[in-house]
Amino acid sequence: MADQIRFILNDQPVEVAGLSPMTTLLDWLRDRRGLRGTKEGCAEGDCGACTVVLERDGKAEAINSCIALLGQIDGQSVRTVEGLLGKDGAPHPVQAAMAEADATQCGFCTPGFVMSAYAYAAGGEKADLETIHDALAGNLCRCTGYRPIVEAMTKVAGLAVEPAPMPAARIASAAFEDTFFAPRTLAELLALRAQHPDALLLAGATDLGLLASRARTPPKSVIHLAHVPELTAIVDGKEEITIGAAVPYARAMPTLVAAYPALRTYLARLGSRQIRTLGTIGGNIGTASPIGDMPPVLLALETRLTLASVRGVRELPLEDFFLDYRKTALAPDEVIQSLTMPRLWPGEVFFCDKVSKRRDQDISTVAAAYRLRIKHGKVEDVRTGFGGMAATPRRAPNVEAALLKGDFEGAAHAVIKDFQPIDDWRGTAAYRLQVAANLLRRLELRIADPSQPLEVEAL
């Protein structure tokens, strides 16, 4: 008998049975529960009209309900815009602040903004513009009403929020409709993987969720990774950092930014808060996209993968993982268990760049990362990683050879020896080559004079 999906919705327990676990949370909310305050805009997790909040571990975190699958929500506590109203029907302080600031126009996007504002307020964050804009980066106002929305956000910072109830913890593995498997131990996961080699491995669904939301062709079977301890652990060691493949970006960011400060701005541009709540680094690697944001960074940081199966565990350098376009060295019965990267040595510098058509919520045209060890003004070691330049994320050996000589201009000219990119709607091959070369020139300026401002920022 299939397990029932159990979660808390607006403080009330819910059980779902007889429905595909690959149904999106948004479709279930609107069609089965009649909660139509949550809207569908893009069905891709880009516009934020579908934003709801997960309340767990004393935190409120915004997610995109249009790409979240019901099976993922088992054991969670979800709040929608309807769940903000008081028992007497009075508006929540966040809703009141939006109304008082005249922060609504057509109103279609408003519930999503309200839920992002609620998550921001519950987080007790600073009421500065940088933090507010980061909290709103995943929400699109088509009427361009951002000024009053930001004004409303400044009024609700640090709002006290009562902890939401949580359903009873599920101890054993679950199988919903015998198509959505949610193991609780690594041994159970590996056994399932061996039995179902064609099942999709799903962590945050920020990519695979589009199969259900946009393409309307949900996968036939899924193995959900988010409850396996070995895949959700962070080991912050003295010399290395190990991050489980199913650790969401939101959890990994404090550790990564502390170890590699250049990632602070880079990761803030990786999706939105809604995406980072569920999306994982392991998923970014596993999809093997040539324009994924993290692989170039991880290549430069000399990352090793731990791959596990019922046959055992093996380690593989990330640069050997990507074989061809969307093709990897992962065997049919294997999963990515974790990724390990060394900390920066004394004398090492690390930088990374992302160039895209939009600053926020956009995929890379070119992504690049560079780690150099410099002693007495001489480059002793260097590793690079580039995305958007080839069929796979790749290092640039000719560029690295020039950098080892301290020849940054030579490195810029060597880009064409390492890459033959394609033309597509994000940029022409010539544009990509020029961008990559210019980023290396920027790298020289960063190293020569760290105090020199190189970013264009709004005042």
* The token pair that represents 219 in the structure block: 């996968």
Taken in order of first residue, the domains within the chain and their CATH numbers are 5-156 (3.10.20.30), 348-448 (3.30.390.50)
Question: pLDDT class for 89, splitting at 50, 70, 90?
Answer: confident
Q: What is the pLDDT of residue 459?
A: 44
Kindly report, residue by residue over 266-279, the tens digit of the pLDDT: 999 999 999 999 99
pLDDT at residue 453, rounded to an integer? 76
More confident call, 459 vs 369: 369
Per-residue confidence band for 455, with pLDDT thresholds at 50, 70 and 90: confident
pLDDT digits (tens, 9 = 90+) for 226-260: 999 999 999 999 999 999 999 999 999 999 999 99
Per-residue pLDDT tens digits for 359-379: 888 889 999 999 999 999 999
Residue with tokens 């569908």: 40
Least confident of 77-91, 108-122, 300-314: 77-91
Contact 416, 347 (CB under 8 A): no
Q: In the predicted model, what is the mean pLDDT of residues 340-356?
A: 96
- Give the Cα separation of 431 and 422 in Å (integer): 10
The tokens describing 22, both together, are: 């690959």
CA-to-CA distance for 218 and 70, rounded, in angstroms? 12
Q: From edge to edge, which strands make up the β-sheet containing 348-355?
A: 348-355, 366-375, 378-387
In this predicted structure, the answer to whether residue 21 has a pLDDT above a threshold of 60 is yes
Residues 196-228: tens digit of each pLDDT: 999 999 999 998 888 888 778 888 899 999 999
Q: What is the reported pLDDT for 86? A: 80
